[in-house]
Chains A and B, each alone.
Chain A
């Protein structure tokens, strides 16, 4: 019998992380419109919060595929909470999760030092910056606002990555998911 490397236990741990961060994502979804209407230049920063499922899952388990699965669950849960953003949730899940998996795969799931997470954070920041730039027509903003926006959009995922790593470290201190981690 071929046994998947992902035990049910790992899968459901991802589900738990996905649900907890997905609730957060749903809330972020509902504050998107007010943020865009009042201070659009920080939107990229808010969107960066969506890196969390993958970071926490990878940091907690050090296993392949966990980032993508946690992202998928988070997106489904967030969509149930804030249905208008279904597509943006699914899109960010595939995109962010994909980038996080790719970066982890490039180092063959061996290196788990913080720098590795920050590389994926930086890549995600670039993608976010571009996507939102078009969708919200930031071209029309004053040059200073565009600059602030770009910096925040790239910085957002990096800061959120750091937050995710801190959460992972706190969970480890509390002895959670210890026996799963390789």
Chain B
């Protein structure tokens, strides 16, 4: 019987508690249990690790894109991820791995380009892009749950379905509150150390020493804050009983079973179609 919160005009830059904005019924991913969104793609992601061809991961990449385009609301962030980050990474990884591929082990029939004494063979490109597509497919499948689940909901389903003790669940929920605070503290500490001239200078060694200097003040402040929060929670009977009243249920429903079944069936189908996943 919780009342719908009034929508707030402005929002902090990072608000892990922000309720998912209302989405139309087509955006079905928001209506699924977070665990279903993990269990559905998980087997495919595991098997993908062992594939070596391009077609299989490409098929899964398209599947993940299709699911995301239909099932998730198109936000700026998702658009950037799907439109820029994934394709960009795919290209960079593909080229990178091709360069690193041992030329002695590939088909040297096609020469793509030559720079000085170094040759890029078509075979190397195939291997490099197979790896890149594989990683891109795995990441895209992870995004299905990753961009449509809030941290608190994931924690709640860990408690409600997987029987993780609620005290640990609420530890994680309280932790989400720490994130913006510590981020801000880190910013202040960096400014303070910079203006005092701590480990100035360029280069990786100076940078490492600078960052090492932030660790103790950041963690010390963090742990002291955590201790105060712990007292406040204890003072409100945290951990009094084996269970507590749950007002937010994150149910596991028939639709979750259907989603998992469909994902597994689709995965099996695609894997069967692509078998034996060897480089052609």
Chain A interface residues toward B at CB < 8 A: 4, 6-9, 11-20, 22-23, 33-34, 36-38, 40-41, 56, 60, 69, 72-73, 76-77, 79-80, 83-88, 90, 131, 134-137, 140-143, 145, 167, 170-171, 174, 176-177
Contacts and interface: CB of A to CB of B under 8 A. Distances in A.
A76 B146 CA distance: 11
A12 B176 contact: no
Given A20-B222, A37-B97, 17 more contacts: A9-B226, A9-B230, A11-B167, A18-B175, A33-B93, A37-B92, A69-B171, A76-B151, A76-B175, A76-B176, A80-B151, A84-B142, A86-B142, A87-B38, A136-B135, A145-B102, A177-B223
Given A79-B151, A176-B223, A141 B171 contact: no
Please indicate which of the listed interface residues A8, A38, A73, A174 has the most CB atoms of chain B within 10 Å of its own CB.
Answer: A8
Nearest to A170: B216
B49 interface: yes
- Most chain B CB inside 10 Å of its own CB: which residue of A12, A13, A56, A134: A12
B85 interface: yes
Contacts of A76: 151, 154-155, 172, 175-176
A7 B229 CA distance: 12
B220 interface: yes
Closest 7 A-B residue pairs measured CB to CB?
Answer: A83-B146, A37-B96, A16-B226, A142-B102, A15-B175, A37-B92, A16-B222
Nearest to B50: A134
Contacts of B42: 87
Contact of A12 (B92, B105, B174, B186): B174
Contacts of A36: 93, 96-97, 135
B178 interface: yes
Interface string B182-222: 11001000000000000000000000000000011011101
Most chain A CB within a 10 A radius of its CB, from B96, B171, B175, B224? B175
A13 B134 contact: no
B145 to A, nearest CB: 6
Contacts of A77: 151, 175-176, 179
Given A19-B179, A23-B183, A174 B151 contact: no
For B167, B172, B218, B223, the residue with the greatest tally of chain A CB atoms inside 10 Å of its CB is B223
Contacts of B167: 4, 6, 8, 11
Contact of B227 (A13, A83, A137, A174): A13
B45 interface: yes
Contact of A8 (B81, B92, B139, B238): B238
A48 to B, nearest CB: 15
Contact of A143 (B85, B102, B127, B151): B102
A16 B238 contact: no
Given A15-B171, A36-B96, A72-B172, A134 B49 contact: yes
A33 B81 CA distance: 13
B135 A38 contact: no
A136 B179 contact: no
For A14, A37, A143, the residue with the greatest tally of chain B CB atoms inside 10 Å of its CB is: A37
| Most chain A C-beta atoms within 10 Å of own C-beta, residue among B50, B95, B165, B222 | B222
A2 B229 CA distance: 23
